[in-house]
Structure 1
Amino acid sequence: MSDFQRAREALGVRLQQLRGDAALSGRALAAQLGWPHSKISKLENGRQTATSTDLAAWAGATGHPALSGSLQADLAALETHYRSWRRRLASGHQPAQQEAGAQERGAQVVRAYEPNVVPGMLQTPDYARHVLLASAALHQSPRDTDDAVRERMRRQELLYAPGRRFRFILWEGALRARVCPPGVLASQLDRLSGLIGLDTVSIGVIPFSADLPLTLRHGFWIHDQSYVTVETINAALHLDDQADVALYLRAWGMYEQTAATDAEARRIIVAARHSLGAT
C-alpha cells in the first residue's frame, strides 16, 4: 500500500470517528449534506479523496466546526504527495508551471527522464503551446495557454544559471512523436541540437537500436537527491521517501548507461529532423 493511500485511509478514519461522535448514520449525514450515501462510504474507507469544501461541510455537520482546520491540514499533507490534475489545473496551467519553476529553483542538480515528449525545460514556445493545449483538452481545464507558455519559457532561464546542472535523458521516440505539426517539431529538434554542449545542460538520447537494461517506464524528475516528481495521466506524485529516491536514481543510472551523448546524441536528433523532410 502506498504512503498516499495510508494517509487517505487515516483521514477517512478521522471522518468516521467524527460521524460516530455525532451519533449520525451514514445515510443521515448524507441526507444532511445533500450527498449520495456512497460518497460517505468512499470518504470513510479511503476510496475517494475529500476536497477542502467536503471537510469543512463534514466538520460542521458533525458538530465539530473547530476541527475543520485540522482536517484541512491532513488534506494538505496528503496532497503534498499526490495531487490530481483535476485539482492542480482547476485554475489553468500557469499555476502548475509556477510550481514546477519553484521546484527547479530549489535544486542544484535536476535529472529528467522522458520517453514520450521533449521535457518542458527544453521546449520551444510553439511546441509547448501544442503540448499544453492537448493537456487542457484532456483535463477540460481553463485554457490559459499563452500565460502558461510564458511561464514555461521563464523556467528555462535557469538553464543558463552558473552552478546549476540539468541532466536530461530522452528516448528517440520522443524526438519523433508528432505531437505538433512537422514545422514546429523541426524547430524543436533544432533547439535540442543547439543546447548540446551548454555547460549547465547534458542531453542523452536512448536510440531505438539500444539494448535496454530496463523497459521504458514513465517519465520522472529527480531534484538533487531529495525527492522525485512523477506525472501520470491523472495525478502528479511527490516522492520523498529515501527508498523511493534511491530506486529512481538506480533507474536513472540504468537508462544513462544506454543513452548516446554529445556528437552521437546530436546525430540522432539530426536524423529525426531530416525524417521530417524540408520544412
Structure 2
Amino acid sequence: MTSLIPWQQRLSTGTEDIQDEVISWYQQTRHGRAYIPTMIWGTLQTEAYATVILRQVVDFLGVPDDVPAGVAKRMERQKVLYDGAHHYELILGEQALYTNIGGPEVMRGQLERLLRDGDLPSLSLGVLSATAEVGVVPIPAFNMRGEDQVHYELVSCGVDITDFAEIALHDKAFGALRGAASYGDEARNLITKALDFWSRGGSASK
C-alpha cells in the first residue's frame, strides 16, 4: 500500500506538529536506515542547518511560520542517538557534503558535527562517493522505518510505502548502496575534504 499526503495538508499548522510525529516514528523505530544523497539527515542536523531547512520549507510552501518551534522539536528528536536503545544506518551522498545550506559557516558547523558524531555506537555512517559505482539505478532519498515502512519526501507530498514486495526492493537497493559506500577512515576523509572546502569559503574547487 502507498499513501500520499500533500505537504500543505500535513503542515497546515506549521512545522512543529509534524516534527512531533517524526519524534514518535524514531522512538518506535529501533533499527532504521536512510539514504540521503543531497542533504544532511535531519537527525544529525545542527540547529543552524535545521533552521535554514525549515525556513525554506515555510517560505516555499507558504505554511504557518513556526520555525523556532519546529527546529526545537528536530533537536529533541536527536535524543534517539544517545539513549542506547536505537541504531541507524545512514548513507549520505557525497553531494550532501557540498549542497550549500546557509553558507560556509553553517556548513562548517554541520560537517564538524558529522566528524564528531559519526562514530556514535547508535550510528553506522557511510558516504557514497560521487564516483562510486553502484549496482542500482540512481534513486532519490528514502527512509526505512524498521521492516514495515519506507518513507519518501517529494516536492509536493510525503509518500509512505507499506507493501511487502516494495519494501523488499528497497532493502535490496539499500544493500547495493551500502556495498558501494565508504565507511570509517574513508568516510571521514571525504567529510574532512568537504570541511576544508567550506573552511576556504566554499569558493575553491573540490
**Common fold: TM-score over 0.5:** yes
Alignment of 1:1-279 (within 5 A): 3=1, 81-278=3-200
Please list every run of 5 or more consecutive structure 2 residues that lacks an aligned counterpart in the other structure.
Answer: 202-206
How big is the shift at 1:179? 2.0
Instruction: Note if contact 1:165-1:200 (Cα within 8 Å) is conserved in structure 2.
Output: yes
Residue 204 (structure 2) aligns with: none
How big is the shift at 1:238? 1.4
Structure 2: distance between partners of 1:275 and 1:84 = 37
How big is the shift at 1:237? 1.2
How big is the shift at 1:278? 4.2
Q: What residue identity is the alignment partner of 2:185? A: A
Structure 2: distance between partners of 1:187 and 1:196 = 14
How big is the shift at 1:162? 1.3
Structure 2: distance between partners of 1:244 and 1:93 = 29
Q: What residue identity is the alignment partner of 2:58? A: A
Other structure's SS at 1:211 match:
coil
How big is the shift at 1:277? 2.9
Amino-acid identity (%): 28
Stretches of 4+ aligned residues off by more than 3 angstroms: none
Residue 9 (structure 1) aligns with: none
Other structure's SS at 2:198 match:
coil
Other structure's SS at 1:162 match:
coil
How big is the shift at 1:135? 1.1
Instruction: Note if contact 1:115-1:216 (Cα within 8 Å) is conserved in structure 2.
Output: no
Residues 171-197 of structure 1 show CA distances to partners (whole Å, capped at 9, x for unaligned) of 000110012111000100000011121
| Higher share in helix | 1
Q: What residue identity is the alignment partner of 1:211? A: E
Count of equivalent residues? 201
Residues 191-241 of structure 1 show CA distances to partners (whole Å, capped at 9, x for unaligned) of 001112111111100011211222331111111111111111111111111
- TM norm structure 2: 0.94
Return the index of the structure with the highest Cα Rg.
Answer: 1
Structure 2: distance between partners of 1:178 and 1:214 = 27
| Higher share in strand | 2
Root mean square deviation of aligned Cα: 1.2
Instruction: Note if contact 1:220-1:228 (Cα within 8 Å) is conserved in structure 2.
Output: yes
